[in-house]
Amino acid sequence: MFGRFFRTTPLAWLQMSSRKARLLAAIAGIGFADFLMFFQLGVRDALFDSQVSPYTSLEGDIFLVNQLSDNLASVKTFPRNELYRAAGVRGVDAISPLYIGQAAWRNPDNRASRQIFVYGIDPQRPAFDAPEVTQQLDQLKLLNRALYDRGGLSQLGDVAGLLETNPQLSVQVNDLEIEIVGLFLLGSSFSAEGNIVTSDSTFLRLFPQRSAGEIDVGIIQVADKTTIADVQESLRSVLSDDLLVLTLEEFATRERLYWETGSAIGFTFGLGVVVGFLVGAVIVYQILYTEVADHLPEYATLKAIGYSDRYFIMLITQEAIMLAILGFLPGFLLASGLYSLFRSATLLPIGMKASRAMMVLFLTIVMCVGAGVVATRKLQAADPADIF
């Protein structure tokens, strides 16, 4: 099958390469279309990955959240007593409350106001698995102390640099002076320019309207990891129906699904991919249609001596696949370079993935072959007698 398909490859290549300017224009156009698709898919995935990155740092097997909570940026509270009830369920080893809020942060360099995520934890019951946090829990036991995420955006200020020269760095959060006593790494996201971790007592001072009896997330550790599913079912039978009882994977998936399907982000970037696909299809169609029109007399001669329409469709399809591969390469290289620049500027977890590259290559081939098939309609309808 493949031998028959590529039997006319030299002719397909000779036709394309006979006009260098047209070939380069086609490669540039397809490369640009691929670049658009790579950019849209890459940024979309980076935003989604950044939104679920905090979950990888949580120390727990099962999580309790209000069923009205779609994501960490708009989490709803529930009674802390529900977490205490969970502690009595067989198989539960430890529990940890987690408070989450967004606060106004004053850049210590220029006093500009920015938004920052605040995580409030019980230092006696650590909620984060990050070594940098657990090693500094004693610091958080003191009131008005916090750890700063060195992965935050530069617009929040050079906190790490200031901390080197001033170990007792004071910053203003929600108009309250607190002291940054250490650093950790979590990273910014689409909804959080940066993060700080405080004790639950300090958190409640930063958010005086909040009640200690209302928490955002309940974190549960299971004694025997092989019984997580059983403990999860037991918790569901004991706790309020208003609560979701989720594993870590389910918790993170819920967050990602919200941003993919419940927000405008997924649609916006999906539309960008469609636009890139259509741009490439139009470019390839114009190139191949012109190619067919320019060689119509030669094709008509071949038809007159017995070559079928299938032969010409195979010929144009080969040209389309060649264009797809040649155009994919510059698009791939440009996107890889842009990913590096984007990652340095935003600290978002963006990079080239093999799965994304294969997806864009597949879309490129479909785009080019589809445009090529449409371009051959003029040839299929041509009558050698009319041309001569």
Q: Give the side-chain half-sphere CA count within 13 A for 283.
A: 24
What pLDDT does 151 receive?
86
What pLDDT does 284 receive?
82
**Mind listing the pLDDT tens digit for each residue in 314-354?**
888 888 888 899 999 999 999 999 999 888 877 778 889 99
Please give the structure tokens belonging to residue 43.
């940024």
DSSP assigned state of 153: -
DSSP assigned state of 142: S
Residue with the larger pLDDT of the pair 23 and 200: 200
Is the confidence at residue 79, as pLDDT, over 70?
A: yes
Please give the structure tokens belonging to residue 180.
């940054």
Percent of the chain at pLDDT > 90 equals: 44
What pLDDT does 332 receive?
95
Residue with the larger pLDDT of the pair 4 and 144: 144
What pLDDT does 153 receive?
84
What pLDDT does 319 receive?
82
Summary mean pLDDT of the chain: 86
Please give the structure tokens belonging to residue 329.
């390469």
Residues 6+ apart with CB under 8 A from 42: 335, 338, 339, 342, 350, 351, 352, 356
Please give the structure tokens belonging to residue 172.
């203003």
- As a whole number of angstroms, the distance between CA 233 and CA 235 comes to 5
What's the rounded mean pLDDT across residues 250-263? 86
Model confidence, pTM: 0.77
User: Binning pLDDT at 50, 70 and 90, where does residue 14 land?
Assistant: low
Which of 60, 213, 192, 29 has its CA nearest to residue 129? 60
Is the confidence at residue 5, as pLDDT, over 50?
A: no
What pLDDT does 243 receive?
95
Which of 45, 41, 51 has its CA nearest to residue 270? 41
What pLDDT does 52 receive?
85
Helix (H) or strand (E) holding 333: helix 309-346
DSSP assigned state of 308: -
What pLDDT does 271 receive?
86
Neighbours of 267 (CB within 10 A): 11
What's the rounded mean pLDDT across residues 238-251? 93
- As a whole number of angstroms, the distance between CA 43 and CA 352 comes to 11
Is the confidence at residue 62, as pLDDT, over 70?
A: yes
Task: Find out whether 120 and 200 touch, Cβ atoms under 8 Å.
Answer: yes
What pLDDT does 314 receive?
83
What pLDDT does 4 receive?
52
Helix (H) or strand (E) holding 240: none
Phi, psi of 90 (to 5 degrees): -60, 135
What pLDDT does 358 receive?
94
Is the confidence at residue 301, as pLDDT, over 80?
A: no
What's the rounded mean pLDDT across residues 203-220? 95
What pLDDT does 188 receive?
79
- As a whole number of angstroms, the distance between CA 347 and CA 153 comes to 7
**Mind listing the pLDDT tens digit for each residue in 81-122?**
999 999 999 999 999 999 999 999 999 988 889 999 999 999
Determine the 3-state secondary structure of 272 from DSSP. Answer: helix
Residue 378 CA from chain centroid, whole number: 42
Number of H helices, E strands in the chain: 16, 11
**Mind listing the pLDDT tens digit for each residue in 257-290?**
888 887 777 788 888 888 888 888 888 888 877 7
- As a whole number of angstroms, the distance between CA 357 and CA 337 comes to 14
User: Binning pLDDT at 50, 70 and 90, where does residue 292 land?
Assistant: confident
